Amino acid sequence: MAAGLYCVTTNYGALFETCAEFPVYVNYDNDYVRLAQTFATVIDMAADQLHEASVESHLKLQVEYTNRYYSWESKAKHWNNFLTGALNARSK
C-alpha cells in the first residue's frame, strides 16, 4: 500500500482495520480453489480499471494514509506511548 500499488486482499482477520477502504476485498473462503478463482476474477477486473483517473487518485490517497498511520515514525510513537503507559501502570 505504501508503494501505491493496487491491492487485493481477503477480508479475513483484521485486514480491514489495517487497510481501511483502500484494497479490493475478497471474501475469505476455506475452499482454496474457489478463493483462487475469486482472486483471479478480481485481479482481471482490477487490471481493466488501472487506466482510470479515479484509480490514480485513490492510490495517491492510499500512499498518504499508509505513510501517515504506518510509517516507522508513527508506529514507534505508538509503541513508545503504549510501553510507557504499561510501565507507569505497573509502578503504581
Q: Between 72-91 and 53-70, two packed helices, what is the crossing angle to 10 degrees?
A: 30
Beta-carbon count within 10 A of 15 CB: 15
| Domain ranges for the chain | 8-91
The answer to whether residues 22 and 65 touch, using CB atoms and an 8 Å cutoff, is yes
Do 26 and 41 meet the contact criterion of CB atoms below 8 Å apart? no
25: Cβ contacts below 8 Å, ≥ 6 apart: 9, 10, 11, 15, 16
Under-70 pLDDT residues of the chain: none
